[in-house]
Structure 1
Amino acid sequence: MLTELAQNAADAAARAGIPGAMRIWLDGTRLHVANTGAPLDQAGVQALSALRVSGKGTDGGPVVGRFGVGFTAVLSVSDEIELRSSTGSIVFSAERTRDELHAAGLDEPERGVPVLRLVWATDTAPAPGFDSEVVLALRPGVAGDELLRQLADDAPDLLLELPALTSIELADRTFTRSERPLADGLTELRVGVAPQAPLAREGEHTWWQYSTGPSARWAVPVIDGRVRPVSADVLRAPTRSDEELSLPAILIADAALQPDRRRLMPGAALEHLADGYAGFVAALPESQRLRLVPLPGFARGEVDAALREAVLRELTGNAWLPGADGRDLVPGSAVVLPGLTAELAELLLEVIPGLLGPGLSTEREAQALSAVGVHRIGLAHLAELLAGIHREPLWWGRLYAALEPLVVDSVAAEELAAIPVPLTDGRTVTGPRTVVLGHDLGGVGSGVDAHGVHWIRLVHPDAAHRLLGRLGAGSASALDVLADPALRSAIEDVDLDDPTAASELADPVLSLAAVAAAAGDLPGWLGQLPLPDADGTLRAADELLLPGAPLARVLAADSPFGTVSSALVERFGEAALRGVGVGWGFTVLRADLPTGPEQDLDDEDAWWSTLEEDPEVLLAVRDLDLVDSGAWPDALGLLAGEPATAALLSDRLGYTAWWLRRHACLGGVRLGAMRRADDRTFEGLLDVLEHPDAAALSGVVAADRVDGVEMAELLLDRLADPDRDPGPAVVARAHRLLAEATASGILDLDELSPPAAVRTLSGQLADPAEAVVLDRPWLAAAVPAELLVVGDLPSAAGLAELLDLPPASQAIRGEVLGAGRRVSAWDREPAAVLAHVALGLPLPEGTLVVHDRLTVRLSGAVRGDIDLPWWVDEDGRTHCTERGLLAGAEPAERPCPGAEPAERHAD
């Protein structure tokens, strides 16, 4: 009812061309509704009292269209309606109409008297300041307060629907309507209420409104600058009808309604109402446009279905979607990449035509985009679109970084399996699984020039990104790149007459070597890399020295080394050049899993023959054979001063120490014939190595044992050298070590010649034809020291074989003279028990013969009768004097080989 009165007020204001104002108040049981605008006229009275049809003016427009069928709504609350107007006032009254019928003798109709048929004039004027006023005498039971509350709820919508109205005053509060033009045809409409009252809605109501023509207006609520799509509403024509809509915006349209103004006339045209809706959406901020796209769902009726279809058709056929390039796009030509970021959008603008911006690429917007037919592309399709395009490696690196957040699982990674990857050689290949990332090669500004790497599929440093590793790219350090066998083949294929090709290969190799040299030893075959020398001639890197290299001072005059180009030194630095084999000091060659003497090292075959099995890694100092013979003191200092070479000096089994022992000389003496100052094993036989770096040269001097034929030959020669004066302990030790090496198989006696003279216990040299090797302890006192060769008893047989000397037990025979006192067991002899207690030894078993004086008749190599402290005869009996019991007691602990039985014989 109040909506119809507001419509009448709006019509009056529109007719008068003034802002419409309403005032509504309750006076007891009378409801007053006053408004400004065109006052009541004769045509209006006729319309109200005749056929309930609005009167028409001569111009065909409505005279007071507000006084039509809708006005009858007042009858729902009142039987007495007074219309007060500045042009005259009238009253409609059910009671007075009933009295008139009775006075005329007519019966009252079954449906009640027609209240709006008879009109009575009145002199009451409208409230001051208003042109018209409707006064309703409320029937008993009609709550006036509830009517006011209803109007308070409806006021904001009425001011939205009826633009001719600018204010509605209700008791102590006033609803006002204001408009402000915005850009692109939008109008901001605000409805405020002052003062705030319990019956009013909270806050200020704001809409953004857009007119699509004389027949339709669209509006959407706005809160804090953001549109809030409506979820359910009705068609407003212009006020609310019963036609339910599910559109996200309010539609206020000129539509043909049935007389009750609740439903559309059958067959009424609707599609034209959607014309211009795309303009409305395009006028909104880009981030909010999709909020006004009708989402898929069930229509609320035929009218809703028709309007939804028309709106979607309008949206799909016009440009309004904000593209990533800033232009509005028609949905059918637009594509969306889910998860698109601003950085990724910038990179893909020229790659994907019609790409929508990041704000529309979230999952929240997906349903709306699908509703208008936007094509959705995935990562696999993106990889296809990227195929064949040409961009700088830095662009690709930025692209991978921007794509990384989108690769959230293995499925996404698989979709990007065919993404292009730029290589250092200028090619762009398909798919990361066939390429290698150089993880320490850096990118822009790294100083590493890997651009010419062509022997492997190396990702360009500017494009290298961890995403490629997630997509299947391998990983390689600079050292790995330089160790690739394909590089070795490339080096071997370089034409030494083509300096351009050599430079194109050398540049990336040296650039990588600058990084890899600090990470580990580079392959030795990099020394074959052709580099220009000081004269510009191409030579292998390992045939060149750095300017001022200390190695040059120790090389022989005819060495084949040249000096590398100073321009290369300035460009790549000494570390890179040294890494590929250009000399400064001595160069260490590295070979992984070598299978034989194929490293072009001096005397390599001989060293290889000393190995029991091939080494996993061969590390060796090169070019030792090029050292000048008189420069070894300085050369050893160079070797000891560099950590890489110094480490090899202590590896006695390695090639470097082996070669130095065998070939390097100080003062005309091989290093292998010298000893450390603190090693007294062969004191008197070997000279001490006198050098400032002697502590670091432990592996290049003689060992403290016999470790091969060369050491054995050296000791045999020194033992037979009359100019040497070793002490008895050194002689015995040398003999023992020689014998143990023979027994253990270290020495092959076929490779050794017996010495011309042997060193005896006395320190004198003896003719091998006269000397014997002590192999039984009791013979020690029987043989003169100048004929007795001593090592130790357990290895005496090996020493005798090595020196080609007879053991003393075979060369000498003895017969005990005199019977002596026979003791059945050692524990029966007090002196024997005392001797063993003193020595802390267990008593031996066997027969003991005690002599006051023990005389033995010797024959063989030594002849004559001799008094001895003890003796063991051929039957294994021990003969001794009481003073000799201490010597005879030892067999139990150190039995002699050859004694029968062994446990009875002494050491």
Structure 2
Amino acid sequence: MSDEFGSAGIRERVLASWAAAAVRFREDANAEEDLALGGYLDRVVVELAQNAADAAVRAGVPGRVRFSLRDGTLVVANTGTPLSAAGVESLATLRASAKRDDAESAVGRFGVGFAAVLAVTDEPVILSRTGGVRFSRADTAAAVGALGSPGLDTEVRRRDGHVPVLRLPFSAEGEPPEGFDTAVILPLRDEAASELVRRLLDEADDALLLALPGLERIEIEVDGEERVLADVLSRWTVQRAAGTFDENDRERLLADRPIEERSRPHWSVLWALPRSADAEIPRTVHAPTPTDEPLSLPALLLATFPLDAARRHVAKGPLTDHLVHEAARAYAELLQHHSETGMNVLPLVPTGLAAGALDRALRDAILAELPHTPLLRQAENRPESFGTPLDASPSSRSNEPPETPADLPSQPWAGDLPDTRTAALAEVGVDGPAATEIGDLPDPRADEPAGPWADVPTTTEAGDLPDARPDAPLDTWADVPAGSSAGTAVEGPIGRPAAGLLRPRDAVVVEGADDTFTTVLATMVPGLVRSRRQDRLALDALGVRRLDLAELIDQIGAVAESRLPEWWRETYGALSAMVTEPLLREALGTLPVPLADGRLVRGVRGLLLPGPDLPDDVLATFGEYGVRVVHPDAVHETLERLGALPATPRTLLEDSAVRAAVENSTDADDPATIAAAVLGVVAVDPAQAEGLWWLSDLVLRDADGEWVPANALVIPGSVAEAVLDPDEVAPIERDLLEHYGTDALEAVGVLSSLGTVSAADVSLDELPEALADLDGIEDWADDVAPEGSRYGVAVGELVAVRDLDWITDDAWPRVLELFGTSPELRRALVDQARVVGPDDRAYGVPSYAAWWIRERVLLEDGEPLAGRADPEAEPVLASLLDAAPEWTAQLDPEVRTAVGFVRTVADLDADGVGLLLDRLADPGREIGESAILRLWQRLGALTVYPDSAPDRVRVLGDPTTHSAEPMDAVPSYESAAQVAPAVAGTDEGIALGVGSGDAVPISGGSGGEGAGAGSASGEFGESRDDAHRRHEEHHAHDRHDRHDGHEGHRAHDVHRDDSTYDGSDVGYDGSDGYAGSGAVEVLSRVVAAGEAVVADAPMWLQREDLGGFVVASGVVADGLSDLFEVPMAGEVAAGKIDGIGTEAEVPPIVRELVPQVPDTWWEHEELTVDGYEVSWWVDDDGAPHAATFNGLAKALAWSAGRWDQRHVILAVLSDPARASELRVDATFDTPLSD
């Protein structure tokens, strides 16, 4: 086998050096391992492509490389200078590149790149047109072993047999594929190596072509699937800059670099932007091949940065600082070129946070250049393509135009590899290497520091940069020269303005201005550029000055008078989209606006926009009164959105200038002109004047030719003229009536009937001006305010009838009839006003009209109209109160109630209650007990009280008629045992002993649930325990604290408990010896208040020693006690039972019919309470006590809370034979269940 490259000599020299000093062997092995498993672990594709590019450059031919992965073998074929003896020596010598003399054009610089193949193979082969060479781990190990050197053998053992692979070359035979000059054949070590190569081939992209300009085409085939990278400039826009260092530059910038690097005085920078918006940009710096330095800029950067030994990170130093500065200048020129072609370059401006220290330095340098670079297009010079994706050809300054390289067909090279690795190598005449397998390699970078930039902070904000290049060094980039470009290939100075472009430092944007408005402003604001919301950060980073919208509007005001109304209309139209922004609307509201009368005003809100509703001559009339109407030629819908109002009758009448003219019309020099103008507007649509109460101040002529306010004028022949005092009102002039009509005149306050005035959200402590003329309105507010304080009290809506004080005395029958027939007046009278107090509680109070009539209207007898008995009043009230006049019977019932007529007790106000109590206390009036019992029920439910309680109180009649029962009414029995149930011991159940021991069989058991329960909604269902507890809780408070409102209003629970005892057993039934239905009714009587008590339980009616009784229960009893200021019976007597009595069982039939009764009761021969004899009682524990049958029935019913069942209990106790009848009857007390 021939040895064209002298590989045998190289092996002899290397082996001799190892044999002479084993330490040399160890040094070579460690260095190679560091490269293969460290910095070059995953760079095999990049390094082989780089070698191919350098070969093409040296040969001066278009570079082409093909990567083919098949059956575990990677073959890399390329065009260019073939392998030479110097090249073989370089491959076998670490860090001694054969490309040193090609420093300007070669990319590879260290002579170690080929070591990257050791990450995937142990048997690399290189075949060229000039010969072949191979390297082999196995053959190297054999050669070392053949030396017989104990030192080497020991070192090999220590390294587990691993030896340097690339130090001993061996000759190889074979040819590269046809069309290529060299082929590198890599039998892959294992599946992990295959996966790594697949990944690296898949990651190969345009960046590789851009980094290696010597290559025009990269072909990649993986298991038969091919893809080609070519024509890269058709997909990328490229900006290049390059130069050569002079002697001074070398001394200053390269002093800290290795000797061989100092001999390479050339530098280059390339920025690439994808033409497609969907293209992915590598986010790392390329130097020129990929490094681990992160890059956040939206472009690909390739530059000749110096690298550390691992070729992973950029080395710090003056050379790097210089290249950062040159990269920044190139980036600025790239953006300028794109802007000149009409592209929007703001998305390319660095914003946000840096990704690393080098990225931060690049961003800082770029942001120092860009403010001085013409980039921004003035607003008035906008190309059609503004804002479109970048799509421009390269610039003239080293911007390479797209080229279509010569078509290089993909040709099969000599002998495609067969299916097996060994056969593939044999095809090209190379012996197959031994298939040495190794395990998964550890990541050699796991313990590696983050790189030379690890200690540099990376959080500089782009917006923090000054507008110009700083005088101080940029952080760690200490030696970056401010303007060094000596020896560079860059032509043309940066910073000289290009046609139509502005330097950012000379530009201005208007805060919030959209594109349309910016176009309008372009001729007015020098240096104005367009700004989108998403461009804000970029513009701030460039140092573009921001002009506040309010400041801009102030500047517009300086030239406003020179602009025609039509120009203003176009300007307002340009603002149409901006008025939707809340933050901008306030500033826009201060725009200048031309008016129809020739004035120019600042501010839009409240201006009137002319429209079809009002003729121009009407609007012109109001101009002299200060009404501001927009010039018709300047009208645009934007003005309305900013607060201007369409000129309708309503908006014109609401204008403050119109109101001022109306209110001052009395003193006007020409009131007729004002009257004509206002009436002319109102006549267009009288309904639009509703609620504008101040229009009634407009002075008009009356029938005598005098100028009188409209609110003191009436329509001739109207109701108003008939019922109002002629000394207060006058008829309006006939000519005005005929010209404008009744509707227009009424709209400004002239009366044809009674008028109303309304106000919303009325605060009683500060009544609105609209209500000021109402007679007595302040007194009404005082009366309806809770607790007499108007502070914090409000009425949601108040509608008041005006001029009530002008109604003549004899007109009230007609007026009250009018209230019933006019819906508007009826609502103003009948509907209560809803008052909300400081505590947010709401309640209804009499309307102003109802209050005024009750307080101020007197009849012929000099007494108030209010407080009289309604024609339909309850008889007891009719007997106690003065009767209303006969003519009131024809009035609307609700009108009668509103003006103070009393139909029920609930219609009484505080004064009416006081009057009624006084009439009740008159002993000369005869009132039966049935009437007084009903009246007490209603009085106890009142929530208003008079100022003072009466001295005398009406109570039940003769107390001798109220004894619960005659003591001999019970059938004779000798002991409790006779009335107590006894178990007979038979299947028929138990028997109740009655009389002299007769036993009456009763069906046993307590009955089913609810059997005989009767109606739970009976009138007196409250239990005695509940009543007692409630009374004690209620009367624990000071009785004198019951009043909490003005004129008797109080905060009191008005819930009526109709299920409680109300004295209905008084007057009931013949079995008690009391008057039956055919008896003459007992009259009530009057006693001093100190001799009366309220009986809130029926057992107290037996206590004649307590005085006269006012009878009710529950909250009604509480109310009566408060109303009359008399105590409850339980407050004046302890109600303590004397003695113990004998416990007895309640008969089962009673418990069946009334399940709520207790199981036992207490029998007394003689029952006394507080020393007073009674027939029954229920003690504080709810236990029933009785001395009679009737008493037992009542005691059981009251203790069970079922007072309504006392008669049922009495019936079954008196006649047990009725048990079946009563049980069947009880079935109907509650609805049958399904």
TM-score (norm 2): 0.37
Greater C-alpha radius of gyration: 1
Tell me which protein shows more strand as a share of its residues. 1
Q: Which has the higher contact order (CA 8 A, sep 6+)?
A: 2
Q: Give TM-score, length-normalised by structure 1.
A: 0.49
